[in-house]
Amino acid sequence: MKKFIKPLLIIIKKELKAYFDHPIAYIILVVFLAINGFFYFRSAYLYNIADMRSMFNVFIWMFMFIIPAVTMRLIAEEKQNHTLELLLVQPIKEWQIVVGKFFGSLIFIIIALMLTLLIPLMLSSYGDFDCGMIAAQYIGAVMLGMVSVSIGIFASSVTKNQIVSFMVSVVTIFVFVCIGLNVVLVSMPSLVKIIFEQLSITWHYFNVIRGVLDARDIIYFLTATASFLAASYWLMIREHINQKRSTWRRLRIGILALISIAVIINLLGLNIHGRLDLTKQKLYTLSDATENIVGNLDDVLTIDFYSSKELPPEVSLRARDVSDLLNDYQTVSNGKLKVNVHEVDTDNSSEAEADGIQPVQFNTVSSDEFQVKKGYFGLVISYLDEKEVMPFIETSDDFEYQVTKLIRKMTVDKKMTVGFLSGHEEKGIYSDLSVFEKNLAEQYEVITVTIDSETGQMDAVPDILVVAGPKAEMSDGDKEVLRTFINNNGKVFFMIDTVSIDMQTLQVSANENSLTDLVEEFGVRINNNIVGDLRSHESISLGGGAFNYIVPYPFWPRITGEENNPISGKINMVPIPWVSSLTAVDDKKEVVSLLTTTDAGFEQTENFDLLPDQDFSTISPNSLSKKIVGMSVVNKQEEEQSSNDIRLVVVGDSDFLTDAYVNSNPSAILFALNSVDWLAQDEQLISVRSKQRQMSSLVFEKEGQKNTVKYINLIGLPVLVAAFGFAYLYKRKKITNRQYSKY
């Protein structure tokens, strides 16, 4: 073993020394770090999201030029200087030369990647990054580097000219990247599209940087790297071996067979299974709750999955995720769940449509013109006499939740009712809260509840009551009805507005009929204020026409969930406009914080000024503190048993769930649905629902911190690398001159 490894280490050391003994290596590192920092911070600071995905998206284009520059000399220079012959007469195998040069270059690329680690390390103090996803992204970048370096070595083996080698490498990488892009795939026939997807770097790389190490992607990168290295080996020795000998023929056949096997494995390996989900919330792995629901089915449940042969390119990766997850469902079901896959074409499309799967139209390019085609991508779940349909699977991010909730809906004995109180100018189910109502209706029976003042009773008694922003006066009799409902083990979701805001002028007036007095009786005071957050908040657009501009608006704080709480623990942020703070006032109740601002929260209690162009820097730092805007209430265990089932959720705002906000704020619906499930004491779906991909905010205490992180990575690190390179090369030059002076 030693005789094989030692020559490799010698070659690797030689190549690394050749890089760092030349200024080109430092120039490449400086350019790479500067360009990477510029594009990353331009995107990250625009959205203030703790996510590294944008950086790794750029790598695939940067490597297209950086790696050819690194590898163009490896074999070409040896040929041009006639030093390859000297290497070949050494006790070193030809394959050791190729592999050693490969690892030498790959280690150089890994060093460049490791330098970018400073970005997530510094930003981790200001945001909750998914470390598992970042690990997968760096692994993906290394595998991308593997293939690109092997292509670079192959290009360097083709010619003695380094410029030609650079161009061949760039073009080859460009081809393997572009055949996986939607703009190319959209014009391809179905079979060609599948071949291009499986052979493209893009397809496999973007799958890995989502946070999933899939066996099919790992096999692709390993086989592609091996194929190009084998071809490089072949090209390198063909001039130094007698092509009439049987050794040459066997070698040629062996290398062609290796490359052919690699291509066949990738084309036919669609059914290879095996994944390592590195994401923090295990986004691509079935949750324990799903396994429990599916594993305890009373009867056989059938899923019919309909998918067209020819789908839009953007749906193809989604189709692979869906297929994998359906296989997982079948595996954990103890034989109670069966999946039938139907490949839809023109001959059997009527069967899909009869099952409720509607065609979706998309564009393809044929004969140099756009054509509209129909595609099917949905599923039907059948259980006993019931049937649920997903006409089109729009995303795989929440696919597990969408399927599990339908299974749960079909297998539950009886739906619980959620009633929305009306009659006091509350938010309307269909006029204001239609998105929330639509989501609730998938698991609950949703009704409107009114209080009959003559009988002093509700016209229907729901299992859970939602009180969404009352503004009209509520009689003492109506309050007594609500009080009685709560005391009789009631479950209520209170969304209370202590102020009314004119949306045109942003003028504020007190809401005297907000129902704060009743809520306070059960342990939570809703303060007459408006909360802001100087550190974590939304931005809004001002102006009109061609002169729109975006400004930060602290009165739309990004609220974070309390860690380990079943309702909000996995919710990274919920933007809530003009929200009031809450205070616990009853030590006989177990009052738990659900939603809070950062430590930079502040409040206005009088002379409200909500205009966005005010000077927020005048707010005293001593007045800043964490503000609670969401709470849950239950009776303590020592209370009488008859009252133990009281459950309340209280939020100091009702606008955050209206249709105008939730379409761009899905985390608000997530929080509200979790709250209703908790009130219903049916928390199985909470863990599944909370797995939907969310990114936390980047939260800086001061603008100086933000700029420090940016400029250390954008300017400081490249300057440090340049300074190190200058010092190292200067020292090396002095040593060389000293040695020459002896002679």
Same-domain check for residues 242 and 312: no
Same domain, 107 and 244: yes
Say whether both 454 and 307 belong to one domain.
no
Least confident stretch, 66-70, 197-201, 539-543: 539-543
Minimum mean pLDDT range among 312-326, 573-587, 595-609 = 312-326
What's the pLDDT at 641? 45
Kindly report, residue by residue over 425-472, the tens digit of the pLDDT: 999 999 999 999 999 998 899 999 999 877 778 988 999 999 999 999
Spell out the long-range contacts of 42-48 with Cβ–Cβ below 8 A and sequence spacing 24 or more.
44/123, 44/698, 45/698, 45/706, 45/710, 48/536, 48/697, 48/698, 48/699
The secondary structure element, H or E, covering residue 387 is strand 386-390
> Hey, which residues does 341 pair with through a beta bridge?
305
DSSP sequence for 131-175: HHHHHHHHHHHHHHHHHHHHHHHHHHHH-S-HHHHHHHHHHHHHH
Q: What is the mean pLDDT of residues 182-199?
A: 77
Please tell me the distance from the alpha carbon of residue 507 to that of residue 509, in angstroms, as a whole number: 7
Residue 210: what are its φ and ψ, rounded to 5°? -75, -15
User: Do both 169 and 129 map to the same domain?
Assistant: yes
Contacting residues for 261 by C-beta, under 8 A, at least 6 apart: 223
pLDDT for res 573: 83
Identify the band that residue 166 occupies on the pLDDT scale cut at 50, 70 and 90.
very high
688 located within any domain: no
Strand partners, 452: 457
Q: Which amino acid is at 448?
A: T
Angle at 111 between CA 732 and CA 731, to 5 degrees: 10
Instruction: Evaluate whether residue 576 is within a structural domain.
Output: yes
Q: What's the mean per-residue pLDDT of the chain?
A: 86
Whether 717 contacts 36, CB under 8 Å = no
Same domain membership, residue 322 and residue 222: no
**pLDDT tens, position by position, 642-701:** 446 789 999 999 999 999 888 778 889 999 999 999 999 888 888 888 776 667 778 787
Judge if 266 and 292 occupy the same domain: no
Q: Listing from the earlier edge strand, what are the strands of the sheet with 386-390? A: 337-344, 301-308, 377-383, 386-390
Q: Is 602 contained in some domain?
A: no
Question: Torsion angle, CA of 60/64/66/67, rounded to 10 degrees?
Answer: 100
392 secondary structure, DSSP code: B
Residue 635, domain extent: 417-528+566-597+627-681
CA 259 to chain centre: 35
pLDDT of residue 346 exceeding 70: no
- The amino acid at residue 334 is N
Q: Which of 355, 375, 406 is the last residue of a domain?
A: 406
State the Cα–Cα distance between residues 493 and 209, nearest whole angstrom.
39
Residue range 599-654, pLDDT digits in tens = 999 999 888 888 888 888 888 888 899 999 999 999 876 544 444 678 999 999 99
Measuring CA to CA, how many Å separate 652 from each of 592, 640, 656? 14, 29, 10
Residue 704 lies in a domain: no
The rounded distance, in Å, linking the Cα atoms of 521 and 110 is: 62
Same domain, 65 and 190: yes
296 lies in the same domain as 231: no
pLDDT higher than 70, residue 364:
no
Cα 204 from Cα 666, distance rounded (Å): 29
User: pLDDT tens, 249-264?
Assistant: 777 787 888 888 888 8
Q: Give the pair of three-digit tokens for residue 199.
A: 């052979």
For residue 521, the domain's CATH number is 3.40.50
What is the arithmetic mean of pLDDT over 378-401? 88
Q: Encode 690-730 in three state secondary structure.
A: CCCCCCCECCCCCHHHHHHHHHHHHHHHHHHHHHHHHHHHH
User: 362 pLDDT band (50/70/90 cuts)?
Assistant: low
Model confidence at 547: pLDDT above 60: no
Is 168 found in the same domain as 116?
yes
Is there a domain that residue 381 lies in?
yes
What is the rounded CA–CA span in Å between residue 447 and residue 731?
Answer: 80
List the structure tokens of 498. Answer: 């202590």
Name the band, by pLDDT with cuts 50, 70 and 90, for residue 180.
confident
* Assigned token pair, 392: 């089109």
Tell whether 666 is covered by a domain. Answer: yes
* Residue 536 resides in a domain: no
pLDDT interval class at 729 (50, 70, 90): confident
Q: Where are the alpha helices (DSSP H) in 337-475?
A: 349-354, 399-411, 434-440
Select from 374, 406, 438 the last residue of a domain: 406
Cβ atoms of residues 652 and 579 within 8 Å: yes
The band of 706, judged by pLDDT with boundaries at 50, 70 and 90, is confident
544: pLDDT strictly greater than 70: no
Domain-located, residue 79: yes
Tens-place pLDDT, residues 104-148: 999 999 999 999 999 999 999 888 888 999 999 999 999 999 999
How many structural domains compose the chain? 3
- 274 with 292, same domain? no
Residue 85 and residue 193 in one domain: yes
* Domain boundary, last residue among 339, 371, 406: 406
What lies within 8 Å, CB to CB, of 110 at 6+ separation is: 142, 145
- Check: CB of residue 17 under 8 Å from CB of residue 106: no
User: Is the pLDDT higher at 563 or at 89?
Assistant: 563
What gap in Å lies between CA 148 and CA 154, rounded to an integer? 10
What was the pLDDT predicted at 308?
Answer: 83
pLDDT for residue 19 is more than 60:
yes
- Separation CA 262–CA 260 (nearest Å): 5
Among the listed residues 468, 500, 461, 502, the one whose alpha carbon sits nearest the alpha carbon of residue 482: 461
* Residues 581 and 659 both lie in one domain: yes
Q: Any idea what the CATH number is for the domain that residue 349 is in?
A: 3.40.30.10
* Whole-angstrom Cα Rg for the chain: 32
Residue 257 CB-density burial (10 A; 0-12 exposed, 13-18 middle, 19+ buried): exposed
What is the DSSP annotation of 43-73? HHHHHTB---HHHHHHHHHHHHHHHHHHHTT
Concatenating the DSSP letter of every residue in 641-665 gives GGGTT-EEEEES-SGGGSHHHHTT-
At 503, is the pLDDT very low, low, confident or very high (cuts 50, 70, 90)? confident
